[in-house]
Structure 1
Amino acid sequence: MSNAINCIDPRDSAAPGGHYSHAAVAGGFVFVSGQLPIAPDGNKLADASFEEQTRQVLDNVARALVAAGSGIDKLVQVRVYVTDIALWPQFNTLYAAWAGAARPARAVVPVPVLHYGFKIEVEAVALA
């Protein structure tokens, strides 16, 4: 197994907002950085509804996976951070439609605040 790490920043996604990559491929896995509701053109969706924010975040996760040569069907674990645990049922419905047959391990973690006032952030691990 190679010790190489390949950092991925999809061309059809906004540039990372800090010193990180959208995803890193290593040891046969894809590690997707926490994705926020930022549109590919860089527009921050802080004022958008929870549904819109969630759809954008999941789209960003999918873009990172595809750019790394993976996909939703190869997800192993997903971590979700929400600013209000009462949003969990709505998230779960949107997530189930997005994930389809994939049923990776998952954690939903309530947090007091996210960057830019966002309501959701998602990070993931998948097979490469």
Structure 2
Amino acid sequence: MTFKHLTAALALLASAGLTHAADAEFYNKGNPPGRPFSLAVRAGDFVYLSGQMGTDDKGLVPGGFEAQSRKAMDNVADILKGMGLGMDNVVKCTIMIADMGKWADFNKVYASYFKPGHLPARSAFGANGLALGGEVEVECMAYAPVNK
């Protein structure tokens, strides 16, 4: 890491109210052992969720794209709930879809998880080779002020 990158990283941490990464809170309730990532990390007023797929404790849920989409969104909601938050806290999502021809189908499922007029900012892109052979992955960021 160059000095320029280190300075930028420290500035980002300071803007989040953190003095160093050790001040972040790592959430792993229900995360199976051995996974090389946290389900979510709170850094100041923001919570960053790892990408969620349409999986349960047995793997990919049966039922195809719609079932995986619903389960991925349910997984996001469950992680937020475990942290005392809800879908209203979500401010940004990134959606990865194995078949962009199913983008409109995903939008129908996705929109049902948010109040009308309270949709997060979002990016979506086609992804070849999602983990576990999944059809969709959803990554979100939530805003949850610490001193509210």
Which category of TM-score, normalised to the shorter sequence, fits these structures?
A: 0.7 to 0.9
Higher relative contact order (CA 8 A, sep 6+): 1
Distance 2:48 2:113 in 1: 19
- Confirm or deny: 8 A CA contact 2:61 2:67 kept in the other structure: no
Gaps of 5+ in 2: 1-16
Cα RMSD after superposing both structures: 1.7
Sort the Cα spacing of 1:124 and 1:17 in 2 relative to 1 into closer, same or farther, 3 A: farther
Kindly provide the CA deviation profile for residues 51-104 of structure 1, in whole angstroms up to 9, marking residues without a partner as x.
100011000001111222221001110000000100100000111111223311
Distance 2:34 2:140 in 1: 18
SS at match of 2:49: strand
- Confirm or deny: 8 A CA contact 2:60 2:132 kept in the other structure: no
Distance 2:133 2:34 in 1: 15
- The normalised TM-score by structure 1 is 0.88
Q: Kindly indicate which of the two structures has a greater share of residues assigned to helix.
A: 2
Q: What residue in structure 2 maps to residue 57 of structure 1?
A: 72
| Pair 1:72 & 2:91 matched | no
Q: What residue in structure 1 maps to residue 25 of structure 2?
A: 6
Kindly provide the CA deviation profile for residues 13-43 of structure 1, in whole angstroms up to 9, marking residues without a partner as x.
x52662111101111111000111111xx11
| Pair 1:19 & 2:36 matched | yes
Amino acid across the alignment from 2:47: V
Q: What residue in structure 2 maps to residue 113 of structure 1?
A: 129
Q: Sequence identity of aligned pairs in percent?
A: 33
Distance 1:126 1:76 in 2: 5
SS at match of 2:60: coil
Return 115-124 or 2-11, whichever deviates more: 2-11
Gaps of 5+ in 1: none
Task: Say how many residue pairs are matched.
Answer: 124
Query: 21, 45, 56: which is aligned to 2:60?
Result: 45
